[in-house]
Chain A
Amino acid sequence: MAPKKAGMRLLFFPSKAEIVPEPYGLVLIMTSWNFPLGLALEPLIGAIAAGNVIVIKPSELAPATSSFLANTIPQYLDNTAIKVIEGGPEASHRLLQQKWDKIFYTGSPRVGRIVMTEAAKHLTPVTLELGGKCPLIFDYSSISSNLKVAVRRLTSAKWGSCSGQACIAIDYVLMEEKFALSLIDMLKRIITRLYGENIGTLVNITRIVNKNHFDRICSYLKDPVVAASIVHGGSYDEEKLLIEPTILLNPPLDSAVMNEEIFGPILPIVTLKNIQESIELINSRPKPLALYAFTHDDAFKNRIVSETSSGSVLFNDVLIHYLCDELPFGGIGQSGMGRYHGKYSFEAFSHEKPVLYRGYYPDLAARYPPWNAFKMEFCRLGYNVDYLNLALHLLGLRRYPKKDD
């Protein structure tokens, strides 16, 4: 909260400058259903730290957490200034009609557009945490001595994060074709160990949030060409809304499963002749929220960082950058705008107001009309921060260009 001092040139003496953070004012936080507690409270912390008045609109698709928030927040926080409004799309729509000083939205790009369009009517700044198809580049030969750990991390990150229903979940894997069968083999073994043998014995994994999303994900598998590419899994339980961990090998690149954010337990593996081609493929698609790469090849790492664009990049692990508070967390392009976590949360909900303090002396006549050549030269020197010549000029010891009369 402390104002930051800003450096001032001697030219402006005497003066002092600082950047004073102030709250935006009235803030709306609209959250998602997949991490309904975390994604509501994380931005809330930033908004409170920045000193705002806050309304939280939890997702109606996670009704138990929504009620929990509505009942518990007033018990712990000042509920004259922090309110929880429950409800569905109607409630969200009505809230969006109001004029807010800032809106923070976590969810899909489709609704992100609606939020920003409504915000535009009131010139309300927004932070949009959206999603995208987060790829994982699996440079098999480069990490051959660490394969076991790599595959374990891949597996638990994909299916251990709300069964793939996470904005930074691995959406698809890119690797060289000659290693694909080995990887699939290892995946099958680890999946069985961590999550169970089949749909009947599934453990340690969440279900799909609702029938709507369940049907959406199953529909990907109903495409016959995609169904033909299933190498593991593919079964589901409609009653329990469970889908088992499913692996696809080279589904068509123009199929729905390869163009929409899967947000579910299906993992397509796309093979390439050479792992370097993965960069081109990633760049042909919308910018993701996170890009993962398992490799020990430093040159390749540099290529990935400088030639691709994503919200963030994580090497040799998955998801864990979320825990690093010093790193800004946010998207770019279709994956969102703005960022938060740590001090970035504070900044997301603050207006950084510059304040310049001046004194009355000296008051330089050069600033005021009527203008003349002397004043012009003074300002020219001032802008060039040429103190020596400026001093000479003021003392009349310097020649300068005069205009013809």
Chain B
Amino acid sequence: MAFSIQTLHNFSASATISVMEEDKRETSFDADQAGILVKELKSQFDSGKTKTYEWRLAQLESLSRMMDEKEKDITEALYKDLSKPEFEAFIAEISMIKSSCKLAVKELKQWMMPEKVKTPLTTYPSSAEIVSEPLGIVLVISTWNYPFSAGNAVVLKPSEIAPATSSLLAKLLEEYVDNTSIKVIEGAVDETSALLEQKWDKIFYTGSGRVGRIVMAAAAKHLTPVVLELGGKCPVVVDSDVNLQVAARRIIAGKWGCNNGQTCTAVDYSELNESFGKNPMESKDMSRIVNLYHVTRLMKLLEEDGVSDKIVLGGEIDEMKLKIAPTIVLDAPEDSALMTEEIFGPLLPIVTVEKIEESFEVIKSKPKPLAAYLFTNNEQLKNAFVKNISAGGMLVNDTILHLTVSTLPFGGVGESGMGYYHGKFSFEAFSHKKAVMYRSFDGDSSIRYPPYTPKKLKLLKSLMSGNFFQLILTLVGWSKD
């Protein structure tokens, strides 16, 4: 039961008109304007309002309301940018944000509370706690995020290759949240470069390793900490003795049900079946490729010598509609571009091995991925997988789901990125955990001060040893040291 194409066409027509209007606007956002923007936000932050619980709660609740009230607009924009089926849009983007907002609203007070910690004998008497404070002004590139739960002033720079979503986001956020402290800057390379020249208190970037390096290098000039959510070739290892039907379905959902392979944690290489009907190119349940550049890139991957003759399913490309059918390639050469670059598309290479353990070697020979998947019933294999393979995250007997578990940190390692977010980890990613210690002037021991006598040193040694008995002996003068 698919929804009406007619209705969709109407929606996308109106979305087109609004995008055209935005294009007519002057967009000359340069380094000077970026500087002014940052100054403005700094004074907003210094006013202290973003630090209050009330402000944070109000923004989060508005965001949640926005997702409810504007669900249709968002779905349309995503369809316009990617032909994303409504269902996928709902699952992968809308619902996730809604439930994350809900979680943040529910837990915010607790997250904001200082954490009391124990203090050692050496600093007795004292009390200490860890206080979360916002970092200040934060730049978020390319992704939906809510660093304002941590009390920061925020600039969001959405991806320019999803223009409908980018303008919708700009419009909606202005309507729903406090836009003196939360701003959206649209644009491409020039605007991003102008923003990156400024001094931020944190930069959160989602995207490619190539641009990740540029972001980090720009951040280094101001000693700005970064979170980089990058990608990688996420492998799925499939053992022989599994329920192949379920495994296959899950792999398909993870690969093609998710933005048609254009997801950072999509299954990149492995094995499987079909759920898109007899003619996937016509299926409304399949997203298109985001733009012609990427269609051409993916085409090249398939046309390479040694790869084109290994296609066992699919391979159809419609350049006009920017669609590529789900395609499987069996045992492409190890050194082909398909096997060395991140695919980010609906092509699935399958690599066959004699013994399942050999797959570990294949994975370890490549840069660490954002996610690694394993389908098996073998406990030993599971343990070996977790122990020996390094990846941002791992999932056994399923794909992608770990993204939705808010108690698990989501982030990469090595080439797939640094830092984590989701759930409480998002709050922490955008907070500084400040150590605060309270001491009194009572009980001031003279052993801290010069002259540094041998007796004082003995006393200090026994104090540091943590051995209470030893301490007493030293104080009384009976220590053998």
Please, which residues of chain A bring their CB within 8 A of the CB of B126?
Answer: 317, 320, 324
Is A204 part of the binding interface, using a Cβ–Cβ cutoff of 8 Å? yes
Digitize B263-283: 1 where CB-to-A-CB distance is under 8 Å, 0 elsewhere: 000000000000111000001
Digitize A267-289: 1 where CB-to-B-CB distance is under 8 Å, 0 elsewhere: 00000000000000001000000
Q: Evaluate whether A123 and B230 lie within 8 angstroms (CB atoms) in the complex, with A311-B434, A368-B249 already known.
A: yes
What is the minimal beta-carbon distance from A279 to any residue of chain B, in angstroms?
Answer: 11
Is A48 part of the binding interface, using a Cβ–Cβ cutoff of 8 Å? no
Digitize A2-22: 1 where CB-to-B-CB distance is under 8 Å, 0 elsewhere: 000011110010010101101
In contact, B401 and A337 (Cβ under 8 angstroms): no
Complex CA–CA separation, A7 to B450 (angstroms): 52
Is A363 part of the binding interface, using a Cβ–Cβ cutoff of 8 Å? yes
In contact, A17 and B435 (Cβ under 8 angstroms): no
Complex CA–CA separation, A356 to B403 (angstroms): 10
In contact, B449 and A149 (Cβ under 8 angstroms): no
Q: Evaluate whether A355 and B386 lie within 8 angstroms (CB atoms) in the complex, with A24-B413, A368-B252, A370-B276 already known.
A: yes
In contact, B439 and A113 (Cβ under 8 angstroms): no
Q: A321 contacts which of B128, B386, B413, B441 (Cβ < 8 Å)?
A: B128
Q: B216 contacts which of A120, A351, A355 (Cβ < 8 Å)?
A: A120
Digitize A154-196: 1 where CB-to-B-CB distance is under 8 Å, 0 elsewhere: 0010001000000000000000000000000000000000110
Please, which residues of chain A bring their CB within 8 A of the CB of B439?
Answer: 314-317, 320
Is A369 part of the binding interface, using a Cβ–Cβ cutoff of 8 Å? yes
Digitize A293-323: 1 where CB-to-B-CB distance is under 8 Å, 0 elsewhere: 0000000010001110111111111001101
Is B398 part of the binding interface, using a Cβ–Cβ cutoff of 8 Å? yes
What is the minimal beta-carbon distance from B187 to any residue of chain A, in angstroms?
Answer: 23
Q: A357 contacts which of B96, B397, B449 (Cβ < 8 Å)?
A: B397
Complex CA–CA separation, A8 to B395 (angstroms): 14
Q: Which of B112-120, B330-338, B353-361 contacts A (4 or more CB under 8 A)?
A: B112-120
Complex CA–CA separation, A143 to B99 (angstroms): 50
Complex CA–CA separation, A352 to B252 (angstroms): 28
What is the minimal beta-carbon distance from B288 to any residue of chain A, in angstroms?
Answer: 15
CB nearest neighbor in B for A339:
B433
Which residues of B in the span 397-434 have a Cβ within 8 Å of any Cβ on A? Answer: 397-398, 401-402, 405, 407-410, 413-415, 417-420, 432-434
Q: B435 contacts which of A15, A146, A327 (Cβ < 8 Å)?
A: A327
For the residues of B in contact with A, the DSSP-based class is: mixed
Is B17 part of the binding interface, using a Cβ–Cβ cutoff of 8 Å? no
Is B48 part of the binding interface, using a Cβ–Cβ cutoff of 8 Å? yes
What is the minimal beta-carbon distance from B43 to any residue of chain A, in angstroms?
Answer: 12
Please, which residues of chain B bring their CB within 8 A of the CB of A230?
Answer: none
Q: Which of A34-42, A87-95, A250-258, A328-336 contacts B (4 or more CB under 8 A)?
A: A328-336
What is the minimal beta-carbon distance from A133 to any residue of chain B, in angstroms?
Answer: 15
For the residues of A in contact with B, the DSSP-based class is: mixed
Is A405 part of the binding interface, using a Cβ–Cβ cutoff of 8 Å? yes
Q: A17 contacts which of B120, B201, B408, B452 (Cβ < 8 Å)?
A: B408
Digitize B431-462: 1 where CB-to-A-CB distance is under 8 Å, 0 elsewhere: 01111111111001000111110000000000
Please, which residues of chain B bring their CB within 8 A of the CB of A15?
Answer: 398
CB nearest neighbor in A for B114:
A305
In contact, A113 and B386 (Cβ under 8 angstroms): no
Q: Which of B18-26, B217-225, B306-314, B341-349 contacts A (4 or more CB under 8 A)?
A: B217-225
Digitize B124-158: 1 where CB-to-A-CB distance is under 8 Å, 0 elsewhere: 00101011010110000000000000000000000
What is the minimal beta-carbon distance from A7 to any residue of chain B, in angstroms?
Answer: 5
Q: B402 contacts which of A354, A367, A376, A379 (Cβ < 8 Å)?
A: A354
In contact, B451 and A125 (Cβ under 8 angstroms): no
In contact, B434 and A312 (Cβ under 8 angstroms): yes
In contact, A324 and B433 (Cβ under 8 angstroms): no
Is B253 part of the binding interface, using a Cβ–Cβ cutoff of 8 Å? yes
CB nearest neighbor in B for A294:
B441
Q: Evaluate whether A153 and B444 lie within 8 angstroms (CB atoms) in the complex, with A116-B219, A356-B408, A360-B243 already known.
A: yes
In contact, A315 and B386 (Cβ under 8 angstroms): no
Q: Evaluate whether A353 and B392 lie within 8 angstroms (CB atoms) in the complex, with A204-B451, A326-B119, A379-B90 already known.
A: yes
Complex CA–CA separation, A121 to B415 (angstroms): 11
Please, which residues of chain B bring their CB within 8 A of the CB of A283?
Answer: 46
Complex CA–CA separation, A45 to B276 (angstroms): 54
Please, which residues of chain B bring their CB within 8 A of the CB of A109?
Answer: 223
Q: A156 contacts which of B91, B120, B133, B449 (Cβ < 8 Å)?
A: B449
Which residues of A in the span 333-354 have a Cβ within 8 Å of any Cβ on B? Answer: 333-334, 336-339, 351-354
What is the minimal beta-carbon distance from A204 to any residue of chain B, in angstroms?
Answer: 4
In contact, A321 and B435 (Cβ under 8 angstroms): yes
CB nearest neighbor in A for B116:
A326
Is B7 part of the binding interface, using a Cβ–Cβ cutoff of 8 Å? yes
In contact, A356 and B402 (Cβ under 8 angstroms): yes
In contact, B246 and A7 (Cβ under 8 angstroms): no
Please, which residues of chain A bring their CB within 8 A of the CB of B410?
Answer: 354
CB nearest neighbor in B for A341:
B435
In contact, A337 and B407 (Cβ under 8 angstroms): no
Please, which residues of chain B bring their CB within 8 A of the CB of A85?
Answer: none
Complex CA–CA separation, A336 to B224 (angstroms): 9
Please, which residues of chain A bring their CB within 8 A of the CB of B120?
Answer: 323-326
For this complex, 23 residue pairs linking A to B, each with C-beta atoms less than 8 Å apart, are A8-B405, A17-B405, A113-B220, A116-B223, A120-B217, A123-B228, A143-B441, A204-B451, A309-B136, A313-B434, A326-B120, A326-B128, A327-B130, A327-B437, A329-B435, A337-B223, A337-B225, A353-B392, A356-B405, A369-B87, A370-B277, A376-B87, A383-B99
B: which residues have CB within 8 A of A?
Answer: 1-4, 7, 46, 48, 51, 85-88, 90-91, 95-96, 98-99, 117-120, 122-123, 126, 128, 130-131, 133, 135-136, 201, 209, 212-213, 216-217, 219-221, 223, 225, 228, 230, 242-243, 246-247, 249-250, 252-253, 256-257, 275-277, 283, 285-286, 382, 386, 390-398, 401-402, 405, 407-410, 413-415, 417-420, 432-441, 444, 448-452
